[in-house]
Amino acid sequence: MDGAGPVVVVAGAGALPALLIRALDAASRERRVIALKGFADAAVARGADRTMSLLDVSGILAQLAAWRPAAVTLAGGVVRPSPAALAGGVAAWRNRRELAELFARGDDHLLRGVVALLEEEGHRVVGAHEIAPDLLAPAGVLGAVSPEAEAWRAIETGFACLAVLSPFDVGQACVAVSARVVAVEGAEGTDRMLARVGGSVGGRLAGLLPALIPASRRAKPAAGVLVKSAKTGQDHRVDLAASGPRTVRNAARAGLAGIALGAGATLTIERDAMIAAADRAGLFLVGVDPARPGEVPA
Amino acid sequence: MDGAGPVVVVAGAGALPALLIRALDAASRERRVIALKGFADAAVARGADRTMSLLDVSGILAQLAAWRPAAVTLAGGVVRPSPAALAGGVAAWRNRRELAELFARGDDHLLRGVVALLEEEGHRVVGAHEIAPDLLAPAGVLGAVSPEAEAWRAIETGFACLAVLSPFDVGQACVAVSARVVAVEGAEGTDRMLARVGGSVGGRLAGLLPALIPASRRAKPAAGVLVKSAKTGQDHRVDLAASGPRTVRNAARAGLAGIALGAGATLTIERDAMIAAADRAGLFLVGVDPARPGEVPA
């Protein structure tokens, strides 16, 4: 974050913007915050320099031009606009040309469109991991529980699946059971993918087992693992896969044995709370080099 | 279906069992029907020789042994057991050894376990497509609407994605938009995948466009396509991907431009109704050779 001028955090939903603001403040780095209306947390919005509509593209560009920032970061989710986020219909109308350009690039790619637009305006756009590198998942077993052999097989399967999906622009996460993949994350996000894994056939039939078969005769059900990692060649400045305590809780609810994160290729939000949640639930939490998922970390 | 003895249809949910029974009757082929309690359609159950619990494995095996069938086919869904399907708890308890063996093979693979079990008992297990080959999707444009160039790109993308996913035992269907895949089907099935595509970000943001941007300035949104095909090397005797009129209605509701089916690698249930539904909704319906998805059928 060298260079004159502030670092601007354009703050969407979730805990990430506050973590970045805290990191900038800890480094005594000059910063400005634009809270996106309807997305940014209340605390971030209260402390922000501006609260603006996501749709007020002209206004945001004008504000950035006035601040002459050293770098801009887009942090936090802007998916699933809340009614509040869309209230600025009049502002949006004024910006219809910019919006048409963004949408023309593919509406799933809105954020990448924003990055391109900001760069065309001469701004340097940086990723959250450049501001707070310690948010990146490290390699190794992070909690008290270690994956068993069957889980390592699932981890390898999951990373291999995410790797082959890389050209298709889908799948920052999947759920693997041994050599099979049972769910691939699309636009719906990790939480909703985990919800459908929990409600799947396997889960329901498995629920019958105790009633039908004595434990001594029962084959131990194979361990499901959430594997999460950024796509190969993905622009890490936008939409870097992130996990937090809620991810752990949802994985536990889905009956999974643990979570494997791409080391250096995913963000961990509130990592201590995440590890504590994993330990409480008896789940493993492990960072794995996505290029060498078969290698058991020391 | 050569050989002495009847063809036995073990009838699960959906329209497929009735279609197979009709095909056997049309060919004047001797047949028997076991309706699976809680799964089989009421009309199939009424005309069935036996109505039995999915969990009454011993009973089903004994009945099959008594019939000495030329072939057995497992038709229709047995996923998401209804309460009625599970009512036979006592019967299940009697069969706990067989069930333990089935579940030990992986409960997602219950049907494949059943096939293996039937083969061990000396039965010949055939797929629905062997009884009624005309249910297999043919190659070519099936309805009144033809895919445009952008949709062909999505079709190629979708088939390529399903091909790379083949080793992972996931994905008999996906939704592609141009060169991107936005959803991959897991254990939840096509209908639920389409429901989440319809509710995704793209859909919601796209809904705003008319209010914001005059039509003349609007980039035409890229066409989403449902691509559905059996996995390479998949055992077509179980779980062959199937589509019907409901698939078309759900694809229309999700805002898709059309449906591409693996020719010879998917079943079309009530094809005429399916084509009519596609024509009504303005969707294309096309059968594509999964080995050569880039080839535009004549």
B134: exposed, middle or buried (Cβ count in 10 Å: 0-12, 13-18, 19+): exposed
CB contacts, 8 Å: A93 with chain B: 212
The interface predicted TM-score (ipTM) is: 0.76
Nearest CA distance, A274 vs chain B (angstrom):
27
Local confidence band at A17 (pLDDT 50, 70, 90 cut-offs): very high
Instruction: Kindly tell me if the per-residue pLDDT of A79 is higher than 70.
Output: no
Show the beta-strand stretches assigned E in chain A.
7-11, 31-36, 50-52, 71-75, 125-126, 140-141, 173-177, 180-184, 224-228, 242-243, 258-262, 267-268, 284-288
Asked if B186's CB is within 8 angstroms of A197's CB, the reply is yes
What is the nearest CA distance from B132 to chain A, expressed in angstroms?
28
* Amino acid B82: pLDDT: 42
Give the helix ranges, DSSP H, for A27-140: 42-47, 57-67, 89-94, 96-104, 110-120, 128-131
Residue A216 has pLDDT above 60, yes or no: no
What pLDDT, on a 0 to 100 scale, did the predictor assign at position A215? 47
Q: Are B234 and B186 in contact (CB under 8 A)?
A: no
The pLDDT assigned to A230 comes to: 86
Q: How many residues in total does chain A contain? A: 298
A220 in contact with B, Cβ within 8 Å: no
Q: Which two tokens stand for residue A118?
A: 């900001």
Which of A106, A196, A211 lies closest to B89 in CB terms?
A211
SS3 per residue for chain B: CCCCCCEEEEECECCHHHHHHHHHHHCCCCEEEEEECCCCCHHHHHHCCEEECCCCHHHHHHHHHHHCCCEEEEECECCCCCHHHHCCHHHHHHCHHHHHHHHHCCHHHHHHHHHHHHHHCCCCECCHHHHCHHHECCCEECCCCCCCHHHHHHHHHHHHHHHHHHHHCCCCEEEEECCEEEEECCCCCHHHHHHHHHCCHHHHHHHHHHHHCCHHHCCCCCCEEEEECCCCCCCCCCCCCEECHHHHHHHHHCCCCEEEEECCCCEECCHHHHHHHHHHHCCEEEEECCCCCCCCCC
B191 vs A contacts (CB less than 8 Å): none
State the nearest Cα–Cα gap between B98 and chain A, in angstroms: 10
Q: Please choose, from the candidates A235, A222, A298, the residue with its C-alpha nearest in 3D space to the C-alpha of residue A265.
A: A235
CB-based contact B169 A184, cutoff 8 Å: no
Q: Which residues of A touch B178 (CB under 8 A)?
A: 106
Would the pLDDT of A94 be above 70? no
Which has more pLDDT, B275 or A204?
A: B275
Chain B residue closest to A103 (CA)?
A: B219
The b-or-e profile of B204-236 (16+ CB within 10 A means b, else e) is ebbebbeebbeeeebeebbbbbbbbbbbeebeb
State which residue of chain B sits closest to A100, comparing Cα positions: B218
Residue A143 is which amino acid? G
CB contact under 8 A, B80 and A196: no
The whole-number pLDDT of residue B154 equals 93
- pLDDT, residue B28, reads 95
Helix, strand or coil for residue A293? Answer: coil
Calpha distance B78→B165 (Å, rounded): 24
- Contact of B290 with B265, CB cutoff 8 Å: yes
Q: How many residues does chain B have?
A: 298
**Which pLDDT does position A209 carry in this prediction?**
42
Chain B touched by A108 (CB under 8 Å): yes
Per-residue pLDDT of chain B (298 residues; tens, 9 = 90+): 667 899 999 998 888 899 999 999 999 999 999 998 888 999 999 999 999 987 787 888 999 999 999 999 988 776 544 444 444 554 555 555 555 544 443 334 566 777 888 898 899 999 989 999 999 999 999 999 999 998 999 999 999 999 999 888 787 899 998 888 989 998 778 888 998 887 543 444 444 444 444 444 444 456 799 999 987 666 777 767 889 999 999 999 999 999 999 999 999 999 999 999 999 999 999 999 988 887 766 5
Average model confidence (pLDDT) for chain A?
A: 81
pTM: 0.79
Which pLDDT does position A14 carry in this prediction?
Answer: 84
> For residues A131 and A23, is the Cβ–Cβ distance under 8 A?
yes
Residue type, A30: E
Residues of chain B with C-beta less than 8 angstroms from the C-beta of A54: none
Which residue in the block uniquely carries the two structure tokens 């060298």? A2
pLDDT in tens, A161-182: 999 998 887 878 999 988 889 8
For residue A168, list chain B residues with Cβ-Cβ distance below 8 A.
157, 160-161, 164, 176, 179-181
| Identity of the residue numbered A259 | I
What is the predicted pLDDT for the residue at B64? 95
pLDDT recorded at residue A19: 93
A171 to chain B, any CB pair closer than 8 A? The answer is yes
A90 touches B at CB < 8 Å: no
Q: Which amino acid does the sequence have at B174?
A: C
Q: Choose the closest CB to A164 out of B80, B164, B178.
A: B164
Q: What's the rounded Cα separation, in Å, for the pair A251 and A256?
A: 6
Joined together, the tokens standing for residue A257 give 């044995």
Name the 3-class secondary structure at A31.
strand
Taking only Cα atoms into account, the Rg of chain A, rounded to an integer number of angstroms, comes to 21
pLDDT in tens, A130-170: 999 999 999 999 999 999 998 999 999 999 999 999 888 78
- Give the per-residue pLDDT at A103: 44
Taking residues A66-80, what's their average pLDDT? 83
Q: Give A-chain residues touching B92 at CB under 8 angstroms.
A: 208, 211-212
Q: Provide, as residue numbers in chain B, all residues whose Cβ is less than 8 Å from the Cβ of A254.
A: none
Given a cut of 70, whether residue A80 has pLDDT beyond it is: no
Give Cα B264 to chain centroid, integer Å.
13
Residue A204 scores a pLDDT above 70: no
Gyration radius (Cα) of chain B, Å: 21
The larger pLDDT score, comparing residue A90 to residue A246, is at: A246
Residue B54 is predicted with a pLDDT of 77
Quick one: B2 exposed, middle or buried, by C-beta within 10 A (0-12, 13-18, 19+)? exposed
Q: What is the number of alpha carbons within 13 Å of residue A261 lying toward its C-beta?
A: 32
* Mutate which: A78, A161, A192, vs B, most B CBs within 10 A: A161
